[in-house]
Structure 1
Amino acid sequence: MTRQQLFDKIKEKESFLCVGLDTDVKKIPHHLLQAKDPVFEFNKQIIDATHRYAVAYKPNTAFYEAQGAKGWDSLQKTLEYIPADIFTIADAKRADIGNTSSMYASAFFENMNFDSVTVAPYMGSDSVKPFLAFDNKWVILLAATSNPGGLDFQNLITSDGEKLYERVIRESAKWGDADNLMYVVGATRPEALADIRKIVPHHFLLIPGVGAQGGDLHAVCEYGMNEQCGLLVNSSRGIIYSDSSENFGSSAGIQAQKIQIEMAEILQRL
């Protein structure tokens, strides 16, 4: 999916909602355990209920890898079930030496056909550039994450006075451009967004942490939105686990719609 196609979808749906499919077989409604593929059946009903309001889906691959081969099968079926005009994110946080990164990129972009994959920047440019070699595919680089341990390293001051995460963004922006490179910035650190926008004013930012993790949508938009929106805001648990009964799909749809309505109001101010 191109940048323009993603912008167009945001306008069409009046939404920049990304639904995280962090599907834990221990947390899905009990009645689904009788299904042939409980994880896929759960995801299918979530997608059916939320696709009107979402412009992206983000399966976290850890929840599928933990199930072994059947988990990868559930993930592939989920990916194929997502409507073709919705942006897909493999939340895999991969990166390694160049030839290994090339294999990771081939797995997610060619074999599975995701639109994007999250990538860890610690090993530098040669570990990231193989992911950037694919047309109309995206790298979503970890920058300022919302987990408490993220502060262990990301806010360290470099020799030129920048925070480490700012240096990562500034340097990595040279490897790609706003058409193939996004950044992960946690919603619980909205104050960082204003500084990040000074470095990458035109890039998309993927914002996890809204909802169950305590991030505030309006604060995120105040500091991080650009003239064309430029945000994908993810909600996972607050949507997919909002109800554990047989009505879980309807509940997920209601929660997604609530967020979309807020987003529509925010977009009207652009």
Structure 2
Amino acid sequence: MTKAELIAQIEKKSSFLCVGLDTDIAKIPSYLHSLPDPIFEFNRQIIDHTAEYAVAYKPNIAFYEAMGPKGWESLQRTLEYIPKDIFTIADAKRGDIGNTSGLYAKAFFESMEFDSITVAPYMGVDSVKPFLEFENKWVILLALTSNAGSHDFQLTLSKNGKPLFQEVLEKSQQWGNHANMMYVVGATRGEKIAEVRQIVPDHFFLVPGVGAQGGSLEEVARYGMNKDCGLLVNSSRGIIYASSDGDFALRAGEEAKKLQEEMKILLQKYMN
């Protein structure tokens, strides 16, 4: 998907919502377990009730890998079911030496046909470049995450006196551009989002941490939005596990709609 196509979806739906398909077999309604593919059936119903509000879906690959071959089958069926005009993110956090990264890129971009993949930058350019060689595909580089352990390295000052996450942002500008690279920026760091936006004014951010993790959607928009919106805000648990009963998909749709309605207001307020 091109940047123009993504922006068109945001404008059409007045939304920058990404729904995280972190589908845990232990958390889905028990009556689904009797079906041949309970993970796909759960995802199918979630997609049916949220697609009109979402511009992106983000399966967390670990939830599918953990189930072995059946998990990969469920993931592939889910990916094929997602409407083609909705952006897809493989939340795989890959990052290895060049030839291995090239095979990861082929797996997710050619075999599975995801639009994008999350990548860890800490092995440097040769671990990222192979993903950038695919036309109309995106690297979403880990920049400033919201987990507690992120303090261990990301905020450490480099020899230049800059936090390491700033070094990553600046260096990676030599690898990709705003039409093929995004950044993961955690929502629980409101003021830090503004710092990231100053360094990369034209790039999209994938922002986790809104909802169940306590991030403020209003703060994310205030500090992070640009003239193209420039944001994909992810909500996983707050949507897909809004209910554990038979109405789970209906409730998921209601929660997605609430976020979309708030996003519509924020787009009008902050998009410049």
Please give the range of the TM-score, normalised by the shorter of the 2 chains: over 0.9
2:76 equivalent in structure 1: 76
Amino acid corresponding to residue 67 of structure 2 in structure 1: Q
Could you tell me how far apart the structure 1 residues matched to 2:33 and 2:125 are? 43
Matches for 1:1-270 after TM superposition, within 5 Å? 1-269=1-269, 270=271
TM-score (norm 1): 0.99
CA-to-aligned-CA distance 1:112-167 (integer Å, 9 cap, x gap):
00000000001000000000000000000000001000111000001111100010
Identity of aligned residues (%): 64
Following TM superposition, where does structure 1 have runs of at least 4 consecutive aligned residues deviating by more than 6 angstroms?
none
Could you tell me how far apart the structure 1 residues matched to 2:113 and 2:127 are? 20
- Matched position secondary structure for 2:54: coil
Following superposition, the deviation at residue 179 of structure 1 comes to 0.3
Following superposition, the deviation at residue 173 of structure 1 comes to 1.4
Could you tell me how far apart the structure 1 residues matched to 2:132 and 2:94 are? 13
Following superposition, the deviation at residue 191 of structure 1 comes to 1.1
TM-score (norm 2): 0.99
Could you tell me how far apart the structure 1 residues matched to 2:31 and 2:260 are? 29
Could you tell me how far apart the structure 1 residues matched to 2:118 and 2:228 are? 22
Following superposition, the deviation at residue 198 of structure 1 comes to 1.2
Could you tell me how far apart the structure 2 residues matched to 1:154 and 1:145 are? 8
Could you tell me how far apart the structure 2 residues matched to 1:115 and 1:81 are? 14
Amino acid corresponding to residue 170 of structure 1 in structure 2: E
Amino acid corresponding to residue 77 of structure 2 in structure 1: K
Amino acid corresponding to residue 41 of structure 2 in structure 1: E
Amino acid corresponding to residue 74 of structure 2 in structure 1: S
Following superposition, the deviation at residue 174 of structure 1 comes to 1.2
Following superposition, the deviation at residue 205 of structure 1 comes to 0.3
Could you tell me how far apart the structure 2 residues matched to 1:171 and 1:190 are? 23
Could you tell me how far apart the structure 1 residues matched to 2:159 and 2:103 are? 34
- Matched position secondary structure for 2:45: helix
Could you tell me how far apart the structure 2 residues matched to 1:234 and 1:190 are? 15
Larger mean CA deviation between 255-264 and 192-201 belongs to 192-201
Following superposition, the deviation at residue 227 of structure 1 comes to 1.4
Following superposition, the deviation at residue 268 of structure 1 comes to 1.4
- Matched position secondary structure for 1:8: helix
Aligned residues: 270
- Matched position secondary structure for 1:158: coil
Could you tell me how far apart the structure 1 residues matched to 2:180 and 2:261 are? 28
Amino acid corresponding to residue 163 of structure 2 in structure 1: K
**RMSD, aligned α-carbons:** 0.5
Could you tell me how far apart the structure 2 residues matched to 1:159 and 1:142 are? 21
Could you tell me how far apart the structure 2 residues matched to 1:237 and 1:207 are? 14
Could you tell me how far apart the structure 1 residues matched to 2:166 and 2:128 are? 17
Could you tell me how far apart the structure 2 residues matched to 1:226 and 1:198 are? 11
- Matched position secondary structure for 1:268: helix
Could you tell me how far apart the structure 2 residues matched to 1:266 and 1:151 are? 30
